[in-house]
Amino acid sequence: MKVGIIGAGQVGATLAMRVVESGIGDCVLLDVVEGLAQGKAIDIQDASSIVGHENLITGTTEYRQLSGSEVLVITAGMSRKPGMSRDDLVKKNYGIINSVTNGIKSVCEDPIIIVVTNPLDVMTYCVRKLGNFSKKKVMGMAGTLDSARLKNIIAEVLDVKRGEIETFVLGCHGDSMVPLISRTTIKGRPIRDIASAEELQRIIEKTRKRGAQIVRHLKTGSAYYSPSAGVIEILRAIRDDSNKILPVSAFLDGEYGIKGIYLGVTAKINRGGIGEIIDIGLEKDELADFRASSLKTKKTLEIVLDEMEKTK
């Protein structure tokens, strides 16, 4: 499988390394900064004989090099800085996403597109709207990352193994995300049988604030190791045509009573992109939180829609 990655910053470059070293396939890494993608691609390729793979990685500034890519991943955009919310990024990253989408349309007819740029749910909407792509072909990576963070925090708080935990995080990629405690198990046992209400609330809050915690520590950027791993999980499901159920940001057209926005839900992922959105059933309070999360996304989306009107 050929994977194109647009944006050779920390997330893009780390993802490119994971793509070739994990056996996903060949990779083209693109960035508008002359030499950035080329230098990182050469560096990653030089490790191939040590790591032990034959996949190829190319760095470029030219969109034509993305031709033939089955999947494109958009990581281009500004990252958050301390004190900046994901919503603060919307106007600046909208301009970048607009340019990237035009570049994609010029060389790729029908790719699967995974968006990582924040605010993720809104930027994913922009890619589909600006490019007039199929809703099945455009998705955002957030749920796989947020679910992994939730698992890690559960393991820390309850002193259990991460591999024994099953869980999902849905909703907006931000402070209003919805960790599904009702669907969380440890070695098959409901987490509510193991953790106290106080511990559960602490787990939820730590999960919602994990991204901001990383930003505070880094000071000049945001997370990249775990977001790149979140994309890899989606890429594997696409490559294997597995129909694996994963949490992704998908376009809702009536599911959960919500229409016209992108939001984190569980979906079957296969070689065609999003095969089907799966309503896994939410408890009453979780559904209320999910709908509240959708309202926050709609509010941010209004900023983007205004920008679209200005640039018509």
Residue 266 Cα to chain centre, angstroms: 13
- Strand-pair category, 2-6 with 71-74: parallel
Residue 244 Cα to chain centre, angstroms: 16
Query: Cα–Cα distance between 135 and 93 in angstroms, integer?
Result: 21
List beta partners, residue 266. 247, 278
Q: Dihedral of the CA atoms 76, 153, 300, 288 (nearest 10)? A: 150
Is 53 labeled as catalytic in the residue annotation?
no
- Annotated catalytic residue, options 149, 173, 206, 210: 173
Query: Cα–Cα distance between 39 and 17 in angstroms, integer?
Result: 13
Query: Cα–Cα distance between 18 and 118 in angstroms, integer?
Result: 21
Query: Cα–Cα distance between 61 and 157 in angstroms, integer?
Result: 45
Q: Tokens standing for 4?
A: 């194109």
Query: Cα–Cα distance between 43 and 57 in angstroms, integer?
Result: 10
Catalytic (active-site) positions: 173
